[in-house]
């Protein structure tokens, strides 16, 4: 810059200070012109260099759109790390499965991992511990899993090298894929995180599974939100799913189509489970039953959404233990993948099941139950349901899961919420979070 400045100033030095003082001396003018031209070409050269530098630094700088919520991931690899993986993957009997559980530090992932470990399966967890919600809760779940003998690897499902390494160390028989960017409304705030985890991450995982030898059978979490604006009740697997009401729903629907493609081309055995509003201990703080509990205890106002007819939004709330049973049955009844090393050898199993409770409950009733359990009256505000991704109601038809998985939910909302509230009070007692 300083050189540039000098050049432009020296160039100005050669220009007469005022037209009146300009001398009509030919040879001198010619020399001036020569000097002037050489200065201009130098200036052009430096300007070009300067611009090139600007372009270079522009491409070096990070892109502006907000990245998905991620934190720097722990290191992996090394003999101690591999030993932990092998120990965690150890099975109790020859008939047991060896399962990679993605999203293991999440709500459903923790419960499924514990259930599998308890019955003697080898389990390795994988989670990127992103900051979508309180990471302390994810760490506490990780600690509980660690005590139960489940090692949760800190990593992202987009990390191909890490996934390949895991498959090198352990020949997984099954993958229980639960890692995802959840939440319907957050999709308007951070759409990239849904593409990162639910689409790109899923494809990356399937790429690794397809090339693994042996290929694992895959069971993964889709969502009831794929039914979107469908108004035919109860929602059956045969109903239309082409009217998603949120990017989250669209990403899960895309996942179902992507899963079909990998089943069709590579012979991967794939089962998709459409969960209906799962709740229970160690649940997700972004879900209504969880933050209503927190707000009611703090004396804060809660918002209840209503449809245009003033009817409260209703959900087919499903207790976590029922969902876990459905996941385990789906793993147990999954047939083997037919391909190996990326080549299909025959047609493979492809299934989709609703896992719900078959009894939708209005959110007003959920609040009444919470008031009774917490012994505190809620301050309620009623608002029309905004068009930000939520649908008015969900209701699962579970006959297919009943027939093929022996799935039979047994916990009603009051019983399940009682267990949640008991856990919530014990977990947050004495922590800074609760001021009650
Ligand atoms: N809980 C529900 O009501 C519900 C309903 C329908 C569908 N589902 C689906 O079930 C699955 C589990 O849901 P949950 O309620 O346990 O959610 P959760 O957010 O508690 O668990 C998901 C976990 O995945 C991890 N994760 C996200 N992106 C990742 C990535 N790229 N790499 C590695 N880890 C990543 C997160 O850190 C989190 O711990 C999700 O696929 C969700 O979409 C849940």
The sign of the dihedral angle between the CA atoms of 204, 285, 414, 233 is negative
The sign of the dihedral angle between the CA atoms of 102, 130, 134, 294 is negative
Q: Is the CB of 227 under 6 A from ligand 1?
A: no
Q: Model confidence at 69, in pLDDT bands (50, 70, 90)?
A: very low
- 178, 203, 256, 420, best to mutate for ligand 1 pocket (most atoms within 8 Å of CB): 178
Average pLDDT over residues 371-381: 97
* DSSP for residue 62: P
Q: Is the CB of 277 under 6 A from ligand 1?
A: yes
Angle in degrees, CA 238, 254, 198, rounded to 5: 125
User: What is the CATH class of 79-279+320-358+395-411?
Assistant: alpha beta
Query: What atom in ligand 1 is closest to the CA of residue 284?
Result: 20
pLDDT recorded at residue 431? 58
Give residue 179 CA to ligand 1 midpoint distance, Å. 5
Kindly report the protein residue whose alpha carbon is nearest to atom 7 of ligand 1: 223
Q: Is the CB of 357 under 6 A from ligand 1?
A: no
pLDDT recorded at residue 97? 98
* DSSP for residue 396: B
pLDDT recorded at residue 33? 46
Q: Is the CB of 179 under 6 A from ligand 1?
A: yes
Q: What is the pLDDT of residues 234-260, one digit of tens each?
A: 999 999 999 999 999 999 999 999 999
Q: Is the CB of 107 under 6 A from ligand 1?
A: yes
For the entire predicted model, the pTM comes to 0.85
Kindly report the protein residue whose alpha carbon is nearest to atom 43 of ligand 1: 182
Q: What is the pLDDT of residues 3-16, one digit of tens each?
A: 333 333 333 323 23
Helix (H, G, I), strand (E, B) or coil at 26: helix
Average pLDDT over residues 365-379: 98
Angle in degrees, CA 113, 117, 119, rounded to 5: 125
3-state SS, 376-388, equals CCCEEEEEECCCC
Is-contact 276 234, C-beta < 8 A? no
Q: Model confidence at 369, in pLDDT bands (50, 70, 90)?
A: very high
Give residue 252 CA to ligand 1 midpoint distance, Å. 12
- Alpha carbon 21 to its chain centroid, in Å, reads 75
Is-contact 335 263, C-beta < 8 A? no
In 3D space, the residue among 89, 4, 99, 100 whose CA is nearest the CA of residue 48 turns out to be: 4
Distance, in Å, from the CA atom of 15 to the CA atom of 11, rounded to the nearest integer, reads 7
pLDDT recorded at residue 429? 84
Q: Is the CB of 154 under 6 A from ligand 1?
A: no
List Cβ neighbours of 320 (8 Å cut-off, separation of 6 or more): 107, 108, 111, 278, 279, 280, 281, 282, 283, 416
Distance, in Å, from the CA atom of 342 to the CA atom of 267, rounded to the nearest integer, reads 9
Give residue 107 CA to ligand 1 midpoint distance, Å. 7
pLDDT recorded at residue 31? 37
What is the secondary structure of 311-345 as a DSSP string?
PBPEE--EEHHHHHHHHHHHHHHPPPP--BTTB--
Task: Calculate the alpha carbon distances from 10 to 27, 31, 43, 326 in Å.
Answer: 21, 15, 11, 81
Catalytic residues: 248
Kindly report the protein residue whose alpha carbon is nearest to atom 10 of ligand 1: 221
Is-contact 392 314, C-beta < 8 A? yes
Average pLDDT over residues 317-346: 95
Average pLDDT over residues 401-412: 98
Least confident of 234-243, 287-296, 323-332, 333-342: 333-342
Distance, in Å, from the CA atom of 194 to the CA atom of 251, rounded to the nearest integer, reads 7
pLDDT recorded at residue 390? 83
Segments making up each domain of the chain, as ranges? 79-279+320-358+395-411
In 3D space, the residue among 122, 352, 355, 108 whose CA is nearest the CA of residue 218 turns out to be: 352
Cis peptide before 365 (omega within 30 of 0): no
Phi and psi for 312 in degrees, rounded to 5?
-65, 145
Q: What is the pLDDT of residues 178-233, one digit of tens each?
A: 999 999 999 999 999 999 999 999 999 999 999 999 999 999 999 999 999 988 99
């Amino acid at each position: 810059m300083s050189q540039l400045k000098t050049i432009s100033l020296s160039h100005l030095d050669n220009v007469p200070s005022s037209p009146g003082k300009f001398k009509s001396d030919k040879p001198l003018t010619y020399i001036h012109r020569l000097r002037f031209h050489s200065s201009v070409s130098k200036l052009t050269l430096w300007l070009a260099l300067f611009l090139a530098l600007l372009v270079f630094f522009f491409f070096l700088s990070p892109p502006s759109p907000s990245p998905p919520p991620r934190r720097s991931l722990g290191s992996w690899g090394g003999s101690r790390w591999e030993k932990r993986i092998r120990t965690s993957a150890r099975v109790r009997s020859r008939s047991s499965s060896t399962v990679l559980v993605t999203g293991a530090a999440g709500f459903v992932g923790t419960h499924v991992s514990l259930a599998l470990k308890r019955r003697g399966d080898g389990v390795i967890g994988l989670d990127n511990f992103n900051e979508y919600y309180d990471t302390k809760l994810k760490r506490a779940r990780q600690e509980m899993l660690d005590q139960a003998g489940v090692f949760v690897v800190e990593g992202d499902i987009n990390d191909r090298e890490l996934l390949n390494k895991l498959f090198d160390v352990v020949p997984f028989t099954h993958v229980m894929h639960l890692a995802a960017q959840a939440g319907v409304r957050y999709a308007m705030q951070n759409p990239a995180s849904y593409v990162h985890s639910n689409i790109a991450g899923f494809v990356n995982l399937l790429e690794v599974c397809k090339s693994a030898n042996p290929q694992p059978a895959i069971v993964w979490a889709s969502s009831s939100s794929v039914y979107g604006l469908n108004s035919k009740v109860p929602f059956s697997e045969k109903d239309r799913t082409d009217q998603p009401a949120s990017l989250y729903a669209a990403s899960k629907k895309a996942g179902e189509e992507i899963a079909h493609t990998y089943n069709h081309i590579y012979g991967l055995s794939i089962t998709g489970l459409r969960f209906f509003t799962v709740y229970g201990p160690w649940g997700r703080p972004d879900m209504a039953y969880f933050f209503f509990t927190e707000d009611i205890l703090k004396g804060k106002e809660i918002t209840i959404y209503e449809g245009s007819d003033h009817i409260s939004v209703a959900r087919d709330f499903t207790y976590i233990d029922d969902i876990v049973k459905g996941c385990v049955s789906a793993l147990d009844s999954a047939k083997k993948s037919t391909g190996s090393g990326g080549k299909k050898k025959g047609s493979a199993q492809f299934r989709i099941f609703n896992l719900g409770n078959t009894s939708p409950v209005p959110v007003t009733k959920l609040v009444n139950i919470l008031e009774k359990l917490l012994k505190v009256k809620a301050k309620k505000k009623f608002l029309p349901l905004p068009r930000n991704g939520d649908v008015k109601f969900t209701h699962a038809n579970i006959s297919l899961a009943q027939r093929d998985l022996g799935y039979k939910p047994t916990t009603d909302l009051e019983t399940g919420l009682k267990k949640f509230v008991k856990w919530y009070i014990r977990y947050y007692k004495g922590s800074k979070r609760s001021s009650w």
